[in-house]
Amino acid sequence: MKRRRGKVWALGLSLALLFCAAAWAQDNAAPLGAPLRLAQADTVYHGNVRSKKFHRPGCRYYNCKNCTARFTSREQAIQAGYVPCKVCKP
């Protein structure tokens, strides 16, 4: 009887945690259609000096060996002749 009571208690606790996690995720979710953006003041774009493409932080090409150019804004990279990466779409 004690084993069964322990299993029921564990199942109840698991369900309660699951519902709490789901409610928390809904409260912290961004509205649909809202773009997720990094703080622009902190963003440093890396530009590939060979391909003339620039990447945002988090892109798989951000730290490539030829990505030695640094830009503090998207506009600055474009003015320097760089084009946005098609993977990360900065």
- pTM as predicted: 0.55
Structure confidence by residue, pLDDT tens digits, 5-35: 777 767 776 766 666 565 555 545 555 554 5
Predicted pLDDT at 16: 67
| H/E run at residue 71 | strand 69-71
Give the confidence band of 41 by pLDDT, cuts at 50, 70, 90. low
Per the model's pLDDT, the better-predicted residue between 40 and 4 turns out to be 4
Give the contacts of 56 (CB within 8 A, at least 6 positions apart).
Answer: 38, 43, 45, 62, 85, 88, 90
For residues 46 and 72, the answer to whether their CB atoms sit within 8 Å is no
